[in-house]
Chain A
Amino acid sequence: MDTDFINTLLLTGRLAFWTTFILIVIGFPLAYLLAYRRFPLKAVVEALISMPLVLPPTVLGFYMLVAYSPQNGFGKFMAEHFNTRLAFSFEGVLIASVLFSLPFMIQPLQNGLTSIPKSYREASYTLGKSQFTTFIRVLIPNMIPSIITAVAMTFAHCIGEFGVVIMVGGNIPAETRVASIAIYDEVQAMNYHVANQYSFILFIVSLIILTVIYSINGKKKIFF
C-alpha cells in the first residue's frame, strides 16, 4: 500500500475522531438543555440541529464556503485574528463536519436522557446531590447504550461523509482528501482497484460499527 493510501485513511480517521470528540464535549450540555429545559425558540433550535438529516450536504457546504470567505464576517475574523483561511483546509472541513454531524450525536443523547425516569433525578436531588453530580453519577451511567449509539453513529457518519467535505475542502491530498472523496477520484481516473480497496475498508468499518450498535441495543438492560 502506498503512502497516499495510508495518509488518506489516517486523515479520514483523524477527521472522524476530532468531529466525534468535539461533539461529545458540546453534545452533552446541548442534549441536557433540550431534554430537560424549556426555553423560547426551543423548537427552532431542535429543527436547526436536525436540518442535516434532510438538507443536501451541498447546501450546508455552500453556506460554509460563503461564511469562510475572507470577504465575510467569520472568514474575515479568522483571517485577521488567527491568520487562518478555513476554505479548503482540514480545520474548515472539521467545523463543517461538526455542524453536519450534530443530529447524529444530539438525538441519541437527548433520547437517552428523556428515557430515564424523572424520579431518578428527583430522588438524587432530594438526597442532596447537585445537578452536576446527578448528571455524572446517575444519568450518564443509566444511558450508556445511548452514548455508545451517539458516538458510533457520529463516527460512522463522518467516515462516510462526502458532500460537505468536497464542497468545503475540495480534494487536497493529506489535507482534505478523505476516503470517500478518494473513491470518487480513483473511479474518475479509472483506478478501480484502488477505489475497491478504499470502498472495502469503509464497508467493513461501517459494518463493524453498526453491528456493535445493534448488539448493544439488543441487550439494553446492562445492569439487570
Chain B
Amino acid sequence: MLKIDIEYAMLTSEGKTNLEVCTEIKGNELLCLFGHSGAGKTTLLRILAGLTKPCKGRIVFNDIVWFDSENRINITPQERNVGYMFQDYALFPNMTVENNIGFAQKLKSKREVDELITLFELETLRHQHPGKLSGGQKQRVALARALAAKPNLLLLDEPLSALDWDMRTSLQLEIMKAHELMNSITILVSHDIKEVYQLASSVLVLKNGTVIKCGKPSEVFTLKATENNYCLV
C-alpha cells in the first residue's frame, strides 16, 4: 500500500503551479498517471523515487515513512528501493547490456541476470553497448535493469512514448510481464488512452497539478469525460 499526500510548487512553461496529490494505491496495482504535458506526472514519479523533495506532506509505503515534512523525514532514493525507468532510459553507455543489468543487483547473481536476459529476449544483445540498441531494445534492457534491483515499487516514465505503434504493442506485454514478476505496485506515466486501457488496472488523471479523476480506466474515460477533456488520438 502506497499512501501519498504531498504538495510541491512546480515551475512549468505556463508559470508556477502547485502539485497537490492525495491518494492511496493498493498492492499489485498497475496505476497509470494520465494528463497533458506539465500536469505534474513526471514530477510525481520523481517525488516518489526521492529525486525531488516535496514542499510538504507525507509518503508512506507499506507502513515505512519515506517522506514526512513535519517530522523532517526524507529517505534517500537509495533506501527507497524503487525501480525507475527514465524517459531516455538512462542506460549506462560504458556498460554492456549484461553489465547494466548486473550493476543494479544488490547481491550479485549471474543466474538472475541470465534469467532476466532470457525473460526479455536479450540473449543476442548481451554483450552490446546501449549506443548500438534500438529504442525498443533499450526499453527492454531498462525494464530488466529496473527489475534486477528487486524493487518495492516500479516507476515508468512514459516508457513507450519514443516508439512506433508496432513496437508499442509488443512492449506493452513486456511491461505487464515486469509488473507480474515484481508482484507489487507499478506506476506508469502515459499520454495515450489506448495504452492506459490495455495496461492499467486504475488511472489517476492530473490536470495542472491537481487530481481531477481517479478510478478504473473504464470509469474515468467515459465517453463524456473523454469528449470534454481528451482526444482519443
A120 to B131, CA, bound (A): 14
8 A Cβ contacts from A149-191 to B: none
Q: Establish whether residues A120 and B90, one from each chain, have CB atoms under 8 Å apart when the complex forms.
A: yes
Kindly identify which residue among A122, A141, A221 contacts B84, using a CB–CB cutoff of 8 Å.
Answer: A122
What's the minimum C-beta distance from B127 to chain A, rounded to whole angstroms? 13
Q: Does B156 count as interface, using CB distance less than 8 angstroms?
A: no
Q: Does A129 count as interface, using CB distance less than 8 angstroms?
A: yes
Residues in B whose Cβ lies below 8 Å from that of A138: 92, 94
Q: Does B159 count as interface, using CB distance less than 8 angstroms?
A: no
A123, A124, A224 interface centre (most CB from chain B within 10 Å): A123
- Of the four ranges (under 10, 10 to 19, 20 to 34, 35 or more), the interface on chain B belongs to 20 to 34
What's the minimum C-beta distance from B145 to chain A, rounded to whole angstroms? 7
A122 to B129, CA, bound (A): 20
Q: Does A63 count as interface, using CB distance less than 8 angstroms?
A: no
Known: A128-B78, A128-B106. A123 touches B93 (CB 8 A): no
A109 to B39, CA, bound (A): 36
A221 to B132, CA, bound (A): 11
Q: Establish whether residues A122 and B51, one from each chain, have CB atoms under 8 Å apart when the complex forms.
A: yes
A122 to B92, CA, bound (A): 11
Q: Establish whether residues A129 and B84, one from each chain, have CB atoms under 8 Å apart when the complex forms.
A: no
Q: Establish whether residues A130 and B78, one from each chain, have CB atoms under 8 Å apart when the complex forms.
A: yes
Q: Establish whether residues A142 and B92, one from each chain, have CB atoms under 8 Å apart when the complex forms.
A: yes
What's the minimum C-beta distance from A144 to chain B, rounded to whole angstroms? 8
Q: When each residue 119-157 of chain B gets 1 if its CB lies under 8 Å from chain A and 0 otherwise, what string results?
A: 000000000010110000000000001000100000000
Q: Does B220 count as interface, using CB distance less than 8 angstroms?
A: no
Residue of A nearest to B105 (CB): A127
Kindly identify which residue among B81, B86, B94, B132 contacts A128, using a CB–CB cutoff of 8 Å.
Answer: B81
A120, A122, A127, A130 interface centre (most CB from chain B within 10 Å): A127
Residue of B nearest to A143 (CB): B94
Residues in B whose Cβ lies below 8 Å from that of A36: none
Q: Establish whether residues A224 and B131, one from each chain, have CB atoms under 8 Å apart when the complex forms.
A: yes
A182 to B77, CA, bound (A): 57
What's the minimum C-beta distance from A224 to chain B, rounded to whole angstroms? 3
Q: Does A137 count as interface, using CB distance less than 8 angstroms?
A: yes
Known: A126-B51, A127-B103, A221-B131. A119 touches B90 (CB 8 A): yes
- Interfacial residues, chain A to chain B (CB-CB below 8 A): 117, 119-120, 122-130, 137-138, 141-142, 221, 223-224
A-B contacts, 19 of them at CB < 8 A, read A119-B87, A122-B49, A123-B90, A123-B92, A125-B78, A126-B77, A126-B78, A126-B80, A126-B82, A127-B104, A127-B145, A128-B81, A129-B103, A130-B78, A138-B92, A142-B92, A223-B93, A223-B94, A224-B131
